[in-house]
Structure 1
């Protein structure tokens, strides 16, 4: 009897340890990595996915096996104690205490800790035996799972209780961790982060302001447009009639060249003969919605309308895409450098540089406000018309306007104050 009790106790402990490790391993394994392996044809990974998808049966099987094995260990421990020390309250109490401690340490804590540290390897190893066990115990498990199903139904069903397997915040955190650990290349990580920021940005954050738009008059001929293109090359131009708030169309250089190749003496025809209808959007339209609108209508340019109905600027598909991949420039024209590093803490910055880009690339720490660019931030702080040489202090930043274009801030020298412990560059 003593030998049998010891064998059952050891066997029960081993079985309970395996069951606990299986539970911990399958819960903590990376579902995305396992699905990836399953898609590549790994049968063990496919078995893991089936178990995870049938979590009700899985937990029912785990609960059933653990309870049966723990009861065996506890009862055999009590029987062994009674045989050794007699049927006394002390013997039974010592047996209960001893089996509880042994079960917690050797059948719960140790196997679960080991399984979590090697969750993928252990899950792959145990998946098929676990699937077989789930099939064998399914009649009894289905009975045990009946009451939980009723409770879940009363609480609104599985969909009402379901939470996302991974949230946007968690995805962004994974990208940051990948960049820090080197598993995600820094430039790729930045583009992935920018994809999420698209939904947070509005058209006014990327539009070309009205005073920088290159217009084409409705009575201009194709010959005149080609001359304009030679001076100020762009892929498309908005066409207006009486004033620049009266936009009647969009003309692209590609359409103009195609039209001239189809018809002789096309140089004397007005651009209105080949212009396309304009697309108007509000300043507050989100960039992800703007992408969908561009795709839906085949547009490449839209006029941005302010709250009073006037033209505030224009936005192109390229300017939205640049929000993700960075500046690309026009065909044949290199993208404009938005800043030049003088040294580690001093930069010559284009006044049109967006606050998001300035904070991301230069770590300036400028707060959000009713402005989109560095020039807008300076205007907000100065509260007057700026002039060349104006200086501004903000936290540890020292800003000085170094170039003006009429009343527009063209260039700014930004210097970050160096802490006393940090050596000043020569």
Structure 2
């Protein structure tokens, strides 16, 4: 047997245990890196991130060099521990040395370094990449041989290493990432990102101004009345029609009207020349698609039509943007008298109020899948036109019909499940 000083054997054993700990930590650190953050850091020029990213492009080779080094260190440590046992106590101590080494390797070369690497993957993986890269180049023939044998075995069970799919996030996974951002992202930014993800599930009917609330100009009316309506209009763009909204002639921008007034040239003929063609939006169009349509067409306002071509409402680009950033324009269905809080914790709400607006402003959870307005929700639930005084429970909210008008609920009292915050003074909607 080769005569090696005991101190050298102990030093070699410590070195091999540390080497095993390095490979264990490198494996967990590299495999638990956030791939999207890694890609961002690599594209930003971070040297360690770029090195780690190149190693992870071929995980079979990376694992090959890591496991090769780890197993070499463990097996060599076992041999050195055996030599130390023979040197100190003789053959009787070999079993004790094996058991003691197993415990030491488990604690100091496996559990501890892997736990640290899992908690701090970047601090572990980036420095380790600078050592693994030259080791992979140095031992590439051996790693290649190991990988060829392993990959052929994987092909036998139907796994192809070369066809590894690119990682992609689903909408729900992206939503989870945004929610878990915590202090890294302001809450307002989180809300906007989540709202963008929800745009595909919201249609133009959910945000449009209903037909009955559209402010337009009847060109067949008395010209004096038309001019008066133009000077008092709350919106910058107005639909112009003949007798009925179903006979739309176009859209007028009040800036053109003001210019004509200033020049003293406003008359029915010049007014008609200032019209632009109306833009129609099919019912059921998602807000994501409609936002892109507005961008491509250069329009800011559209009339929502059903399958028969009848106008159902009006949607603007502001309505869609408000779904992302929150209310910043004036809403006609959000007038102070539409939602009024009472001292007893109840709310007096008009039946024409949008359920989505009601939920957003008061933090409620009224269902919006089937109905757009409070009146629609009540009528759908009862399957009848209720009489004043009718009470019902809607999704945990006590609703009492206070007044009806014709075939619709005009005013209702709602008692929320939990006290809701007082509604902020809501502005009126701009229809353009």
The two structures have a TM-score, normalised by structure 2, of: 0.80
Q: 1:103 to 1:366 in 2, by over 3 A?
A: same
**TM-fit CA distance, 1:291:** 0.5
- The match for 1:120 is 122
Report the secondary structure of 2:75's partner residue.
helix
- The match for 2:179 is 176
- The match for 2:300 is 300
- The match for 2:19 is 15
**TM-fit CA distance, 1:224:** 5.3
Q: 1:417 to 1:330 in 2, by over 3 A?
A: closer
RMSD: 3.7
- The match for 1:207 is 208
**TM-fit CA distance, 1:159:** 5.3
- The match for 2:281 is 281
CA contact (8 A) 2:217 2:241 kept: yes
- The match for 2:379 is 379
Q: For the residues of structure 1 that align with 2:53 and 2:223, how far apart are their CA atoms?
A: 63
CA contact (8 A) 2:26 2:124 kept: yes
* More divergent stretch after superposition (189-198 vs 380-389): 380-389
- The match for 1:134 is 136
Report the secondary structure of 2:130's partner residue.
helix
Q: For the residues of structure 1 that align with 2:350 and 2:33, how far apart are their CA atoms?
A: 48
- The match for 1:248 is 249
Report the secondary structure of 1:188's partner residue.
helix
Report the secondary structure of 2:302's partner residue.
strand
Report the secondary structure of 1:246's partner residue.
strand
* More divergent stretch after superposition (300-309 vs 130-139): 130-139
Q: For the residues of structure 2 that align with 1:122 and 1:22, how far apart are their CA atoms?
A: 6
Report the secondary structure of 1:313's partner residue.
strand
Q: For the residues of structure 2 that align with 1:387 and 1:231, how far apart are their CA atoms?
A: 37
* More divergent stretch after superposition (18-27 vs 223-232): 223-232
**TM-fit CA distance, 1:317:** 0.9
* More divergent stretch after superposition (310-319 vs 138-147): 138-147
**TM-fit CA distance, 1:223:** 6.6
- The match for 2:106 is 104
Report the secondary structure of 1:191's partner residue.
helix
Q: For the residues of structure 2 that align with 1:108 and 1:356, how far apart are their CA atoms?
A: 54
Q: For the residues of structure 2 that align with 1:100 and 1:13, how far apart are their CA atoms?
A: 11
**TM-fit CA distance, 1:236:** 1.8
**TM-fit CA distance, 1:398:** 1.7
Q: For the residues of structure 2 that align with 1:279 and 1:290, how far apart are their CA atoms?
A: 12
- Equivalent runs, 1:13-412 vs 2, <5 Å: 13-34=17-38, 42-81=46-85, 97-147=99-149, 155=159, 158=162, 161-164=165-168, 166-178=169-181, 181-219=182-220, 225-241=226-242, 243-258=244-259, 265-269=265-269, 271-330=271-330, 336=335, 339-342=339-342, 345-386=345-386, 390-394=390-394, 396-401=396-401, 408-409=408-409, 411-412=411-412
CA contact (8 A) 2:151 2:160 kept: no
**TM-fit CA distance, 1:163:** 3.3
Q: For the residues of structure 2 that align with 1:131 and 1:377, how far apart are their CA atoms?
A: 64
Q: 1:392 to 1:39 in 2, by over 3 A?
A: same
Aligned residues: 412
Q: For the residues of structure 2 that align with 1:116 and 1:222, how far apart are their CA atoms?
A: 76
**TM-fit CA distance, 1:201:** 0.6
* More divergent stretch after superposition (147-156 vs 289-298): 147-156
* More divergent stretch after superposition (50-59 vs 154-163): 154-163
Q: 1:210 to 1:364 in 2, by over 3 A?
A: same
- The match for 1:414 is 414
Q: For the residues of structure 1 that align with 2:320 and 2:212, how far apart are their CA atoms?
A: 20
**TM-fit CA distance, 1:284:** 1.0
Report the secondary structure of 1:281's partner residue.
strand
Q: For the residues of structure 1 that align with 2:81 and 2:315, how far apart are their CA atoms?
A: 77
CA contact (8 A) 1:12 1:72 kept: yes
Q: For the residues of structure 2 that align with 1:119 and 1:377, how far apart are their CA atoms?
A: 51
Report the secondary structure of 2:276's partner residue.
coil
Q: For the residues of structure 2 that align with 1:117 and 1:155, how far apart are their CA atoms?
A: 31
Structure 2: segments with no counterpart, 5+ residues: 420-432
Q: 1:218 to 1:52 in 2, by over 3 A?
A: farther
Q: 1:115 to 1:297 in 2, by over 3 A?
A: same
Q: For the residues of structure 2 that align with 1:138 and 1:347, how far apart are their CA atoms?
A: 74
CA contact (8 A) 1:152 1:158 kept: no
**TM-fit CA distance, 1:209:** 1.4
**TM-fit CA distance, 1:292:** 0.7
Q: 1:156 to 1:12 in 2, by over 3 A?
A: closer
CA contact (8 A) 2:333 2:354 kept: no
